[in-house]
């Protein structure tokens, strides 16, 4: 799709960047010691910290990824929202207060508070770096993808801009500036998402989403033995027919332009329904619906096939309430666009064909996760594994955990977590409306679902689009800042000072922290450019899985099992982290990326949680039992 940079969006973006840099410079003067740099002095008010939690946690994957997923696969995308939020319950009831009580700057402090073990210090730091990197890459990739439509700049420029701003934020005032950037961003995200949903409900649902929406046509056809032999529109000529995974597709030619159509039955007759397609020739030139990109033949999509309101078929609903909005979609039929890829001669073809889908199916699990028709034991296990990782991953994410050290007391840590749950929970409810709104408002770019929420905002005017896009950009800045502070703390505090016993003064630690932040930032920029095009949600799923397997068993058992030993914690972090990474690297998704068939993967599991989390727990228990101190009473 072609995106035209909006001048208002550019101005807003520049204003936002100047404001962020101003905040960072202001706090830089107050940040002179390690406590100020790594933990914002431990003086942040719990209310501010709670919203900053939301700003930290609601990353590009939450805002762009989930809305896009709901817009394309319905309720299955919302399952991510539920899993991400449920994880906060673990953080509140199990982790918040004890972690605040035991730690100083990093979660390794808390794990190591009883033992003073070099093994724990090193493994916890490595785990922090691995999880932070898994989380950083998709944020940087997302930044590049966002800056292209927003400012009309290439992907790599977007990554460099984000990386540079974040390095400035973190290198000037560390956690203090990061906290306020996250607080502002979290607040803006929730307020403007609420406004967007309010406007959506006020508009209601319409079979024709807008005046400019492309009218997809159908042509009656004569079909014999699955082959299309003639069509009722003489201006088109039949060129080729392909059968792809049970889908019959026909290529038609009109005025030298080739387009793809899907054969389907409508009542008693066969028809060809118009599809979207891209054609890439061996030289790499790409055609959109058979024409060059600037011919604008590649349309935004997403509409209702039919609307059922109160048992009556209507063309549009008018203003609706929030529950009524969902209920109408449940009772109606939505036209989704399904993707197939194949070769036509030497050309690579991607077709998005219309698939009218019952609202009942859209609003229950099964379109993305194979838990219903066509499911297998492994596909169900994959789903359970993902939900497990989301539940236990949140409370083990290093950039979330370090925020507990920015408030004055354990009770403030608890209260700020409740504010975070309320703010994040409310936002995740909004994602269902934004996603379904994008699904039915004719704004979707079939090539990139990540732009669903900003494009829905564009439906209501350029101003809202510019604001939402600038906030989406800020979303990346807030999360990346938190991740870089976490990684910087792991390098300086856990590895250099604790593990390597390098003696650093307070100011020396701050200086080393700033240098580490710049190094991590540069690495993140390089990886963000290298991983261009990689699925954002996929990588975030890795981060959750690794965090849940490596860190959660150690935190949980340290708090609730008196026989836990340093060796048990060290080994469980190692086993949890390596087993999760190993399963990911041999997963069907990765095997496909290596260029082999997904079915050749040794283990049909894409989400490692179901194996690596119990494995990490078992390791901790066994090793702890084998390394119990003899004749020494274990102090709790």
Considering only residues 549 through 568, tell me which ones interact with other proteins, judged by CB under 8 A: 559-560
Binding of other proteins at residue 63 (CB under 8 A)?
A: no
273/416 with CB nearer other proteins: 416
Using CB under 8 A, which of the segments 137-145, 290-298, 328-336, 475-483 binds other proteins?
328-336
**Helix H or strand E encompassing 290:** none
Question: For 224, phi and psi rounded to 5 degrees?
Answer: -125, 125
Q: 3-class SS at 163?
A: helix
Q: Do residues 482 and 182 lie in contact, with contact meaning Cβ atoms separated by under 8 Å?
A: yes
- For other proteins, the binding residue among 12, 85, 272, 487 (CB under 8 A) is 85
Binding of other proteins at residue 314 (CB under 8 A)?
A: no
157/371 with CB nearer other proteins: 371
Locate 395 and state its tokens: 């409370």
Token pair 């082999």 is at which residue?
596
- For other proteins, the binding residue among 60, 90, 124, 485 (CB under 8 A) is 90
Binding of other proteins at residue 425 (CB under 8 A)?
A: yes
Binding of other proteins at residue 544 (CB under 8 A)?
A: no
Locate 268 and state its tokens: 């008693």
Tell the smallest beta-carbon distance from residue 162 to other proteins (Å).
29
- For other proteins, the binding residue among 75, 107, 288, 617 (CB under 8 A) is 75
Locate 319 and state its tokens: 């203003």
Q: Do residues 452 and 66 lie in contact, with contact meaning Cβ atoms separated by under 8 Å?
A: no
Binding of other proteins at residue 324 (CB under 8 A)?
A: yes
DSSP code for 497: I
Show contacts with other proteins in window 361-390 (CB under 8 A). 363-366, 369, 371-372, 380, 383-384, 387
Binding of other proteins at residue 614 (CB under 8 A)?
A: no
**Among 138, 176, 160, residue whose Cα is nearest residue 30:** 176
Show contacts with other proteins in window 96-115 (CB under 8 A). 97-98, 100-105, 109, 112-113
Binding of other proteins at residue 408 (CB under 8 A)?
A: yes
Site string for other proteins, 489-508 (x = CB under 8 A): ----x---xx--x-------
Binding of other proteins at residue 399 (CB under 8 A)?
A: no
In terms of Cβ atoms closer than 10 Å to its own Cβ (0-12, 13-18, 19+), residue 599 is exposed
HEC profile for 304-345? Answer: EEEEEECCEEECECCCCCHHHHHHHHHHCEEEEEEEEEEEEC
Q: Do residues 273 and 174 lie in contact, with contact meaning Cβ atoms separated by under 8 Å?
A: no
242/414 with CB nearer other proteins: 414
- For other proteins, the binding residue among 422, 515, 527, 598 (CB under 8 A) is 422
Tell the smallest beta-carbon distance from residue 316 to other proteins (Å).
18
42/138 with CB nearer other proteins: 42
Binding of other proteins at residue 37 (CB under 8 A)?
A: no
Distances (CA, A) of 510 to 32, 34, 524: 7, 5, 21
First-to-final CA distance of the chain: 60
Q: How many residues bind other proteins (CB under 8 A)?
A: 72
Binding of other proteins at residue 179 (CB under 8 A)?
A: no
In terms of Cβ atoms closer than 10 Å to its own Cβ (0-12, 13-18, 19+), residue 2 is exposed
Show contacts with other proteins in window 432-461 (CB under 8 A). 432
199/429 with CB nearer other proteins: 429
């Amino acid at each position: 799709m072609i995106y035209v940079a909006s001048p208002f969006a550019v101005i807003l973006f520049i204003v936002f960047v100047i404001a962020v840099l101003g905040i960072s410079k202001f706090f830089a003067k107050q940040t002179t010691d390690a406590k100020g740099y790594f933990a914002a002095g431990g003086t942040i008010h719990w209310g501010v910290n709670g919203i900053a939690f939301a700003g930290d946690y609601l990353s590009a994957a939450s805002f762009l990824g989930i809305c896009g997923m709901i817009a394309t696969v319905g309720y299955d995308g919302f399952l991510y929202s539920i899993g991400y939020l449920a994880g906060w319950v673990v953080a509140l009831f199990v982790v918040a207060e004890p972690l605040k009580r035991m730690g100083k700057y990093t979660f390794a402090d808390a794990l190591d508070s009883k033992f003073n073990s070099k093994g724990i210090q090193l493994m916890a730091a490595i785990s922090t770096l691995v999880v932070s990197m898994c989380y950083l890459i998709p944020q940087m990739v997302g930044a590049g993808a966002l800056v292209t439509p927003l400012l009309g700049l290439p992907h790599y420029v977007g990554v460099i801009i984000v990386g540079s701003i974040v390095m400035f934020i973190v290198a000037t005032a560390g956690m203090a500036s990061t906290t306020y950037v996250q607080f502002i961003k979290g607040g803006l995200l929730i307020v403007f998402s609420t406004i967007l949903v309010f406007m959506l409900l006020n508009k209601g649902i319409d079979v024709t989403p807008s005046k400019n929406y492309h009218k997809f046509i159908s042509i009656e056809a004569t079909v014999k033995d699955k082959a299309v032999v003639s069509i009722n529109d003489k201006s088109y000529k039949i060129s080729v027919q392909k059968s792809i995974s049970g889908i019959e597709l026909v290529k038609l030619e009109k005025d030298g332009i080739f387009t793809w159509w899907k054969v389907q039955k409508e009542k008693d007759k066969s028809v060809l329904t118009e599809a979207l397609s891209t054609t890439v020739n061996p030289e790499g030139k790409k055609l959109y619906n058979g024409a060059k990109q600037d011919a604008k033949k590649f349309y935004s999509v997403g509409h209702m096939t039919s609307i059922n309101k109160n048992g009556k078929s209507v063309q549009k609903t008018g203003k609706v309430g929030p529950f009524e909005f969902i209920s109408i979609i449940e009772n109606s039929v939505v036209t989704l666009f399904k993707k197939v890829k194949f070769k036509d001669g030497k050309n690579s073809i991607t077709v998005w064909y219309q698939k009218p889908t019952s609202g009942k199916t859209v609003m229950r699990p099964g379109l993305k996760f194979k838990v219903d028709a066509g499911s297998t034991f492994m596909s169900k296990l994959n789903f359970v594994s993902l939900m497990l990782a989301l539940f236990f991953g949140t409370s083990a994410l290093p950039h979330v955990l370090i925020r507990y050290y920015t408030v004055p007391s354990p009770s403030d840590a608890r209260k700020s977590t409740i504010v975070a749950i309320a703010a994040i929970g409310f936002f995740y409810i909004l994602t269902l409306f934004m996603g379904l709104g994008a699904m039915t408002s004719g704004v979707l770019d079939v090539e990139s679902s990540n732009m669903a929420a900003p494009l829905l905002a564009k439906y209501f005017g350029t101003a809202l689009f510019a604001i939402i896009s600038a906030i989406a950009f800020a979303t990346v800045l807030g999360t990346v800042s938190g991740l870089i502070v976490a990684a910087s703390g792991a390098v300086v505090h856990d590895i250099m000072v604790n593990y390597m016993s390098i003696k650093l003064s307070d100011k020396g630690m701050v200086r080393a922290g700033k240098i580490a932040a710049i190094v991590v930032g540069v690495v993140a920029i390089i990886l963000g450019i290298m991983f261009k095009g990689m699925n954002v949600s996929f990588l975030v799923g890795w981060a959750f899985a690794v965090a849940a397997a490596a860190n959660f068993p150690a935190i949980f058992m340290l708090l609730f099992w008196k026989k836990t030993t340093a060796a048990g914690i060290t080994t469980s972090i190692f086993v949890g982290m390596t087993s999760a990474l190993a399963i990911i690297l041999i997963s069907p998704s990765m095997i496909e990326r290596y260029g082999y068939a997904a079915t050749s993967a040794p283990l049909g599991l894409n989400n490692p949680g179901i194996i690596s989390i119990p494995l990490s727990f078992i390791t901790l228990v066994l090793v702890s039992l084998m390394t119990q101190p003899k004749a020494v009473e274990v102090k709790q």
